[in-house]
Amino acid sequence: METASTPQNIDEYIAGFPANVQELMKQLRATINEAAPEAKEKISWGMATFVQKGNLIHFAGHKKHIGLYPGPEAIEAFKEKLSAFKTSKGAIQLPLDKPAPLSLIAEIVSFNVKRR
**For the segment 72-111, what is each residue's pLDDT rounded down to a tens digit?**
999 999 999 999 999 999 999 999 999 999 999 999 999 9
Domain residue ranges in the chain = 10-115
Class of domain 10-115: alpha beta
CA dist., res. 60 & res. 39, Å (int): 18
pLDDT for 35 equals 98
Confidence of residue 3 (pLDDT cuts 50, 70, 90): very low
Distance between CA atoms of residues 30 and 24, nearest Å: 10
User: Which tens digits make up the pLDDT trace of 16-44?
Assistant: 999 999 999 999 999 999 999 999 999 99
**3-class state of residue 58 by DSSP:** strand
- Give, for 86, the enclosing helix (H) or strand (E): strand 86-87
